[in-house]
């Protein structure tokens, strides 16, 4: 009887864990690990949206599985594009990097930041054959000072097999044309949440897109 009771309890626990994963409150379950980077706009036009960006990093990082790894890049102009956190599987380190982000002045260089992030990912990610690669770009799409061209950035992403997933956030106006092209031409997806509640409802979709699901 004790053995039967124990087996029954284990069955209930297993079922509960499955439901927990399906409700979006745990790591994404996938057969393929992922190496990806958060590329977060810290320019003045994101001043009122910075808290949303920080919350988004926290929520997506919380979906990481045991073998996933991520890094954090923030950008304004080219001289203020910084790797805040190198590749890590420790969500606390990603959390700290997000909390340390701050808004700075400067002419935004989005494409330069994406290109540098692509190069960093390609050079430093783990290389197991079944590993997915992606960037999660969080920005309003404004770019006023990049030397890199859209075509060369897309070509570099395709060559390295890196999808660009976009979350467009803005205090005022979004440049959806640039963001859409970065996402669609690299096999990624663009998300444009209008409210914090809407963004929270998209977390599972964003995490799945990073993994190519």
Q: Look at residue 13 and tell me whether its pLDDT is greater than 50.
A: no
- Give the pLDDT of residue 169: 97
Question: Long-range contacts of range 181-190, CB-CB < 8 Å, 24 or more positions apart?
Answer: 181/150, 181/154, 182/114, 182/137, 182/150, 182/153, 182/154, 185/154, 185/158, 186/154, 186/157, 186/158, 186/162, 187/163, 187/212, 188/134, 188/163, 188/164, 189/165, 190/165, 190/166
Confidence class of residue 30 from pLDDT cuts 50, 70 and 90?
Answer: low
- pLDDT 10s digits, 66-82: 999 999 999 999 999 99
Helix (H) or strand (E) holding 69: strand 69-75
Q: Look at residue 21 and tell me whether its pLDDT is greater than 70.
A: no
Residue 98 or 16, more confident: 98
Both tokens of 33, joined, read 């690990």
6-10, 135-139, 145-149, 164-168: range with lowest mean pLDDT:
6-10
Read off the pTM: 0.87
Which of left, alpha, beta for 193 (phi over 0: left; psi -120 to 50: alpha)?
A: beta
- Give the pLDDT of residue 153: 98
Collapsed DSSP state (helix, strand, coil) of residue 109: coil
Percent above pLDDT 70 for the chain: 86
- The residue-averaged pLDDT of 182-197 equals 96
Domains of the chain with bracketed CATH: 33-210 (3.40.50.410)
- Give the pLDDT of residue 10: 36
- Give the pLDDT of residue 20: 28
């Amino acid at each position: 009887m004790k053995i039967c009771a124990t087996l029954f309890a284990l069955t209930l626990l297993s079922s509960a864990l499955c439901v927990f994963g399906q409700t979006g409150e745990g790591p994404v379950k996938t057969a393929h690990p992922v190496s990806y980077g958060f590329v977060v706009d810290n320019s003045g036009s994101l001043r009122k949206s910075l808290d949303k960006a920080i919350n988004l990093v926290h929520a997506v990082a919380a979906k990481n599985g045991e073998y996933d790894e991520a890094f954090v890049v923030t950008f304004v102009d080219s001289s203020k594009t910084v790797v805040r956190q190198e590749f890590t599987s420790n969500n606390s380190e990603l959390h700290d990097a997000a909390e340390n982000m701050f808004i700075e002045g400067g002419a935004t260089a989005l494409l330069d930041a994406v290109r540098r992030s692509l190069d960093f990912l390609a050079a430093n990610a783990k290389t197991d054959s079944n590993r997915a690669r992606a960037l999660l770009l969080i920005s309003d799409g404004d770019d006023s000072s990049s030397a890199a061209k859209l075509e060369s950035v897309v070509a570099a992403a395709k060559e390295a097999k890196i999808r660009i997933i976009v979350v467009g956030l803005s205090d005022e106006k979004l440049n959806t044309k640039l963001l859409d092209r970065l996402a669609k031409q690299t096999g990624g997806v663009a998300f444009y949440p209008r409210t914090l509640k809407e963004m929270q409802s998209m977390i599972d979709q964003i995490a799945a897109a990073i993994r190519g699901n």
